[in-house]
């Protein structure tokens, strides 16, 4: 993401420390691929609920989530 946000490694470590499952699926605004949509749909089905997906503004996460739901 950016220098002001936590790194993938730090989030993964914190999730592990707290017994949470973690997946990393980076997407670029305006360039979400069909493969990323399929992967998100798989994660939505396989990960424990509730799921937290986030990005800086929430727009990419929300858009990817909506696409994944439509693809399911």
Domain assignment of residue 45, yes or no: yes
Q: Are 37 and 67 in contact (CB under 8 A)?
A: yes
Domain span holding position 66? 23-71
Task: Give me the number of domains the chain comprises.
Answer: 1
Q: What is the pLDDT of residue 46?
A: 96
Domain assignment of residue 28, yes or no: yes
Domain assignment of residue 53, yes or no: yes
Domain assignment of residue 15, yes or no: no
Q: pLDDT at residue 4 above 90? A: no
CA separation (Å) from 56 to 16, 53, 62?
Answer: 22, 11, 11
> How confident is the model over 49-68, as a mean pLDDT?
92
């Amino acid at each position: 993401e950016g220098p002001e946000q936590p790194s993938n490694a730090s989030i993964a470590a914190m999730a592990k420390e707290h017994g949470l499952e973690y997946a990393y699926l980076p997407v670029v605004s305006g360039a979400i691929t069909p493969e990323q949509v399929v992967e998100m749909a798989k994660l939505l089905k396989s990960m424990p609920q509730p799921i937290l997906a986030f990005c800086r503004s929430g727009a990419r996460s929300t858009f990817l989530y909506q696409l994944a739901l439509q693809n399911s």
